[in-house]
Amino acid sequence: MNPSTTTEPEAHKMETLSAQHLSKPTLPYFDILMDERQGGGETGQLWENQVHWGYWDDPKTATGTRADYTAAMEAMNGVLFEAGRLADGQQLLDVGCGFGGTIQQINGSYSGMELTGLNIDPRQLAAADAQIAPTHGNTLRWVEADACELPFEDNSFDRILAVECIFHFPSRQKFLSEAARVLKPGGCLAVSDFVPTMMFFGKTPIWMAIRPRIAKSYGTLGDVPLRGYRSMGKQAGLQLVGNRNIRKNTMPTYPFLLRFFREQASADAQDTLVVGTRWMKWLSKLSLLQYQVYTFVKPGV
């Protein structure tokens, strides 16, 4: 898709909120990506649009190429689109939208959509705004705000996506409550998250030792198991109607990224990203860390 082929300025805007109270998360890998994008680095080019793990229907078919990984990131979006029950003509919010890759894919695949990308980092929003223009009768807007304090009226959206970002938010519970508030009755929320197994959950010495090492690369992962999501959703007023573990389908991400970082990434990117990626690979391989996709519905229709 070439987002520059059709331009509709009146349907394309960015909103920067004067919210000095926003608590900016420390995301080492995004700081590296911003530097790499500005300097033309390989890591910045790899994650120019999408910034998440890949999905392979059959992991054995993974080829280990950059093109294969890029296609797998788009396939991961497709998994979230299915979980979120996307259809033409919806009002959709992509929370933690990064550089806008997920919205870019929706923009090219659906029509009549009112698309809103939200992020707490204005640098990422500026990059998204610069590289994506609306097509197919869609509208786009980019909003700088905290995912736990959504600046929207009640019942504003048909669908909300949170693709591999909820572990960066100050509170999963607060986000789910805010999502429930701004969803229309009958609306859907789709979330992907790295979730520890029950046997690995809590303040075990090994988990407490590993989490800081991962945090130096990707930020702090959560410690909420499946039953925690079900209860948090219920407390927020959402019903958990879908839960899919796709850990095995994401596993080719790890060898690709580790080889890419070793062979093509800058020294700074290697120092920042390799250690955390290795630990996540190890945890995932041992099934101590799952990759879950959740579907929540707001009752009322």
Domain ranges of the chain: 33-49+61-297
> pTM for the complete prediction?
0.88
Could you tell me which of 220, 173, 194, 214 has the C-alpha nearest to residue 26? 220
What count of Cα atoms within 13 Å lies in the side-chain half-sphere of residue 278? 11
CB atoms within 10 A of CB 132: 24
- Cα 230 to the center of its chain, rounded Å: 20
Residue 46, pLDDT score: 73
Amino acid (1-letter code) at residue 216: K
What are the pLDDT tens digits along the chain (301 aa)?
A: 433 333 444 466 666 553 444 555 556 666 666 666 666 667 657 777 788 999 999 999 999 999 999 999 999 999 999 999 999 999 999 999 999 999 999 999 999 999 999 999 898 899 899 999 999 999 999 999 999 999 999 999 999 999 999 888 888 999 999 999 999 999 999 999 998 886 666 667 777 788 888 877 777 776 666 678 999 999 999 999 999 999 999 999 999 999 888 887 777 777 778 888 999 999 899 988 899 999 999 998 6
Q: Where is 37: in which H helix or E strand?
A: helix 28-39
Residue 225, pLDDT score: 66
Residue 195, pLDDT score: 86
Helical axes 122-131 vs 28-39, angle rounded to 10°: 40
Q: Under CATH, which number does the domain 33-49+61-297 receive? A: 3.40.50.150
Four-residue CA torsion sign, 119, 53, 168, 277 = negative
Please name the residue that has the structure tokens 């839960």.
243
Residue 7, pLDDT score: 41
Strands (E), 49-182: 91-95, 114-119, 139-144, 157-162
DSSP code of residue 218: H
Residue 198: both structure tokens together: 């029950």
